[in-house]
Structure 1
Amino acid sequence: MLKSIFSRPAVIPGPVQAIIVGLGNPGRQYEQTRHNTGFMVLDRLAETLGVKIDRLKFKGLCAEATFGGKKVLLLKPSTFMNLSGQSVIEAMRFYKLPPEQVIIVFDDISLAPGHLRIRRKGSDGGQNGMKNIIYLAGSDAFPRVKMGIGAKPNPEWNLADWVLSTFSAQEAKNLSEAIDHAIQALELMVQGKTDEAMNRFNS
């Protein structure tokens, strides 16, 4: 029998070797907002890999995939940004993975749209989702890809309003290119080549 063109690609057997987490808020009203850039990266990655992030588990939506020669879990927490750690810690405990094997993708207001920054570990940088993950894990040793969303155009703007705003057409174009670079970086990071990813894509 011919394999259905709609069937999902085979995932290599064995345990999940890494988790890639994209941070954001669930719900259509948040879909294209700056704070959901982590979700956007995971959606593009899933599309590239031919999988759908639609399995309900770990207080989020997830999918298993083969990426960079490894079996990975793609995870989008459904807890809302400020409680992202609840989802991440649950998945980490289930697969018995340390922070070093859990890559977090999230938005960063200190970088312009189109720029990204890769780090092996570090502080939350004021990002509430990352803050909750570090707090619940008791560790900041999570490799991360920080996606630029731009600073507030006016210091008097409310930060929550800014991160929940949408991108301009030019910003969206710049972001789309950065998402492609983020996916290439993530593949290197999954393979243990974080230094190479930093050298190639940090901007």
Structure 2
Amino acid sequence: MLSAGQPMFTCSRLLRRSFCTASSSTSCAKPWLFIGLGNPGEKYRGTRHNVGFDMIDAFAQSLGISMASIHFKALFGEGMVGGTPVLLAKPQTYMNLSGESTGPLAAYYKLPLNQMFDDMDLPCGVLRVQPKGGHGRHKGLMSVIYHFRGNREFGRLRIGIGRPPGQMDPRAFSLQKFNASARERIDVALQEGVDVLKTLLAKGLTECASSTNTDQKYKHLRLQTLPV
């Protein structure tokens, strides 16, 4: 899942459904499901809380995948990355009800789930890959975990949006659009995220997390003092 701040990929507890035909090689790659979290509608386009949607859009665009169909209350698309089938989804249930779409999608396809969403605990434009974890008070993730019956063992791509300035309400901050400098940082992060997801598909979650988080650590130190 990708939500404001984080993508999600579940690998350990969910079975991967094979898309191979009977005539295919026995080593045929299994598909992956990537879900970006956000809010539907023009009102929320470009806001901090919708970077999960932005991540899915950037990845889909890089692969020429159309996100025009509706499947389990989500905008949905599918394609291939180096022989590996990928399924992309953007739940249209609104952020706090993301699990109502994500749960049925993962159950239907029996696939590893990967989520992308916004994260205030990371500086704006910093990425972090996690194999599993809690919800960190992120209501979209709370909904996903609830509909997974408490299972938290799915991968996440966290996309930093920074902390609100001063005493600003976090909810109001997350629903604001980025200023010009922050938008530039996010656009760079989205292109980095495309490479992260391709690395995940090629090398697996453990190696992807290790290389990505090492690279992003130095970016974290550089950006953490900049305004959002």
Which category of TM-score, normalised to the shorter sequence, fits these structures? 0.7 to 0.9
1:102 positional shift = 0.6
1:35 positional shift = 0.2
Does residue 110 in structure 1 map to residue 124 in structure 2? no
Please point out which of 153, 171, 182 is paired with 2:165. Answer: 153
SS of equivalent to 1:21: strand
Contact 1:69 1:191 in 2 (8 A): no
1:192 positional shift = 4.9
Does residue 187 in structure 1 map to residue 198 in structure 2? yes
Match runs of 1:78-93 below 5 Å: 78-93=92-107
Aligned to 1:54: 68
| Structure with the larger RCO, 1 or 2 (CA within 8 Å, 6+ apart) | 2
Unaligned stretches of 5+ residues in structure 2: 1-18, 22-29, 217-228
Aligned to 1:35: 49
Aligned to 2:24: none
Please point out which of 141, 152, 161 is paired with 2:153. Answer: 141
In 1, Cα distance between the equivalents of 2:79 and 2:139? 28
1:171 positional shift = 0.9
1:191 positional shift = 3.5
Does residue 176 in structure 1 map to residue 190 in structure 2? no
1:68 positional shift = 4.5
**Aligned residue pairs: how many?**
187
Q: Name the TM-score, length of structure 2 as normaliser.
A: 0.78
Contact 1:113 1:148 in 2 (8 A): yes
In 2, Cα distance between the equivalents of 1:84 and 1:137? 11
| C-alpha RMSD of the superposition | 1.5
Q: Name the TM-score, length of structure 1 as normaliser.
A: 0.87
Q: Displaced runs of 4+ in structure 1, greater than 4 A?
A: none
In 2, Cα distance between the equivalents of 1:36 and 1:159? 14
Unaligned stretches of 5+ residues in structure 1: 1-12
Q: Deviations over 1:30-81 (max 9, x none)?
A: 0000000000011111111111111011111000111253111100000000
Aligned to 1:8: none
Match runs of 1:69-80 below 5 Å: 69-80=83-94
Contact 1:181 1:201 in 2 (8 A): no
